[in-house]
Chain A
């Protein structure tokens, strides 16, 4: 037996003529937080649905918790938690009932779900809203409730599809904090995101997906080291002062030209900035920052992640 909680080989998903996932290999180890990073349409959600046993694979092999989703779907689903991309809370039930009834779907006893709901309300900081209907909750609260709901069966594996999309920064940080806690408790997590900062914050290891394929794999730090430089100098110019990319190329290791700015990849941003000034160019603004996964993605695909 492999000790991987999820193991995929040449995994594929076709919808008619369109192949959303075009043969990927994935191993997720127990206890880690694993990320699928990529733009919308990269195949992340299709992959997650296959792992969650709600979408039959079109090709390749897949094992989740050592079982085959094709034949053991209900047994696997009994042991995983799913946070879908779009909230699908039960709007006809109260906050507490959402947790209790969901637990009953897993076959938990009335007594067990009552205790579990109280514990999860505390975890999601929703105890005071327990008897309220779901609809008036804020986006962040709904998300926390959805995450709490996914934990009702004490899952060994938690699947989070775009967990913080559409949330304000404060709500995102609160959510990340809850996910950290789960990680410390040993819950294996698989997260999809198109936010670089989220992937850097949460993931021990991640794969970058583009167009149905995995284009890179590693820890956030490894990926940045491998595919980017330590620092990035961002330059913006007035249209009349904008140089050709070639004029900047000699100054640093690599230059990316975006519609609104240039990204200069270099080990030492300050020095590059000084050289730009010496060469007579007059940027409107110059910013030195550390490389991020955004840069990795740009390097790998030639496109930025969020349009």
Chain B
């Protein structure tokens, strides 16, 4: 008979994530979410319309007063064509943030869904990737819908716009990852006011509706730190065709967000659920 090994007194080399955190089955959570969403399709569909309403109200309505704006490449753009990529970025953000905050919080604290999953071979990384992946898919679907609307309104000026879809997935991934990490720190529904406090000003001020040049330099620096700014600039460059290598820096920004979000979310789930 082999004696069971004792817990080592010396902690193992610090790892980024604990052993056994990943079973490689995150896609099963996508399957679960897809199955569940069949019953909640109305909430799902409503996300398509929000940016379209903004586009109609601001782009067509307000746009008729504003006239033309200088686009990223220097050529002038209609106001609707200017804000449409901003709305595209914002809808990717909103879809991902909603899914990874409200929905995750409910499953974490009330439905104890993740406890049930952790009784199977699934680990915290499967859960984090699966839930963030769903937020990403949802953001991607909204982005596809909105891009089609943009095309129908004649607001796409370049074939580069096709890349706006994968870009929207990256943006959704990044916001989903950070959203889930943030959710793991929330104690009650009151804390969700903080989500609104973070998301709404970004939506309004991170160059969605007007160019960065309206701000004094110091405020420009602040705005340039915001994630939505990078998403908006990326989308606007792609849909107007003003593509240059500097856009990669935006992708770098999101790569960091994704890495930090996934690691933090997995670690927090581990700490919250496996105690």
- Residues of A with Cβ closer than 8 Å to B? 1-2, 7-9, 15, 52-63, 68, 70-75, 77-78, 82, 84, 86, 88-93, 97, 101-102, 104-107, 133, 150, 153
| Contact flag A105-B122 (CB < 8 Å), given A92-B36, A93-B32, A93-B35 | yes
B-chain residues with CB within 8 Å of residue A82 when the two chains form the complex: 119
Would A77 and B120 count as touching, CB distance under 8 A? yes
Asked if B166 lies at the interface with its beta carbon under 8 angstroms from chain A, I say no
Which residues of B are in contact with A by a Cβ distance under 8 Å?
Answer: 1-7, 19-20, 23, 25, 28, 31-32, 35-36, 39-40, 111-113, 115-123, 273-275
**Contact in complex: A90, B116 (CB < 8 Å):** yes
A60 close to B36 (CB less than 8 A): no
Contact A61:B6 (CB < 8 A) given known A71-B19, A88-B113: yes
Question: In the complex, what distance in Å separates the CA atom of A217 from the CA atom of B175?
Answer: 54
Chain A residues contacting B6 (CB-CB under 8 Å) are 60-61
Provide the residues of chain B in CB contact with A88, threshold 8 Å. 111-113, 115-116
Contact with A102, one of B20, B23, B118, B120 (Cβ below 8 angstroms): B120
Is A101's CB under 8 angstroms from B1's CB?
Answer: no
B199 smallest CB distance to A (angstroms): 24
Question: A9 CA to B3 CA in the complex, in Å?
Answer: 10
A-B contact sample (20 more), CB < 8 A, given A7-B4, A9-B4: A8-B4, A57-B7, A58-B7, A60-B6, A61-B5, A61-B7, A73-B123, A74-B123, A84-B112, A84-B115, A84-B116, A89-B116, A91-B111, A93-B36, A101-B28, A102-B116, A104-B25, A105-B120, A107-B25, A133-B39
Please judge, given known A-B contacts A71-B19, A72-B20, A106-B120, whether A62 and B115 are in contact too, CB under 8 Å. no
B31 neighbours in A (Cβ, 8 Å): 101, 104
Complex contacts, A56 vs chain B, CB 8 Å? 274
Are B116 and A74 within 8 A (Cβ)?
A: no
Q: Which residues of A contact B273 (CB under 8 A)?
A: 54
A55: chain B residues at CB < 8 Å are: 274-275
Give the distance in Å from the alpha carbon of A141 to the alpha carbon of B68 in the complex.
Answer: 64
Decide: A74 near B35, CB < 8 A? Known: A88-B113, A88-B116. no
Give bound CA distance, A87 to B178, whole Å: 29
Residues in A whose Cβ lies below 8 Å from that of B117: 105
From residue A192, how far is it (CB to closest CB) to chain B in Å?
A: 15
